[in-house]
Chains A and B, each alone.
Chain A
Amino acid sequence: MPSDMMTSGDAPASRAAEQRVTVRYFAWVRERVGRSEEQVTVPPSVATVGEFARWLATRGPEYAEAFKRADVVRAALDQVHVKPSAPLAGAREVAFFPPVTGG
Chain B
Amino acid sequence: MAVRVQQEPFDAAAETEALTRGRTDVGGVVTFTGLVRGDVDGRSLVSLTLEHYPGMTEAELGRIEAEARKRFDLIDCVLVHRVGELTPGEGIVLVVVLSRHRQAAFEAAEFLMDYLKTRAPFWKKETFVGGEGNWVDARDSDNRAEARWGGESITQK
Contacts and interface: CB of A to CB of B under 8 A. Distances in A.
Q: Do A and B bind each other?
A: yes
Given A79-B59, A82-B156, A102-B93, A97 B113 contact: no
A103 B116 contact: yes
B50 A102 contact: yes
Interface in B133-152: 135-138, 142
A26 interface: yes
Interface residues of B, number: 31
Contacts of A100: 117-123, 138
B55 interface: yes
Contacts of A102: 50, 52, 81, 92-93, 116-117, 120-124
Interface string B50-87: 11110110011000000000000000000001000000
Contacts of B137: 99, 101
A103 B92 contact: yes
A83 B156 CA distance: 7
Contacts of A27: 51, 123, 125, 135
A103 B156 contact: no
Chain A, interface size category, equals: 10 to 19
A6 interface: no
A5 to B, nearest CB: 32
Contacts of A56: none
Nearest to B61: A102
B111 to A, nearest CB: 13
A103 B93 contact: yes
B9 interface: no
Contact of A103 (B51, B113, B135): B113
B27 interface: no
Contact of B119 (A24, A81, A83): A81
Contacts of B23: none
Interface of A: 24, 26-28, 76, 79-83, 86, 95, 97-103
Given A80-B59, A97-B121, A101-B136, 16 more contacts: A26-B121, A27-B125, A79-B59, A79-B60, A81-B157, A82-B156, A83-B156, A98-B123, A100-B119, A100-B138, A101-B124, A101-B138, A102-B92, A102-B120, A102-B123, A102-B124
Interface of B: 34, 50-53, 55-56, 59-60, 81, 92-93, 113, 116-125, 135-138, 142, 155-157
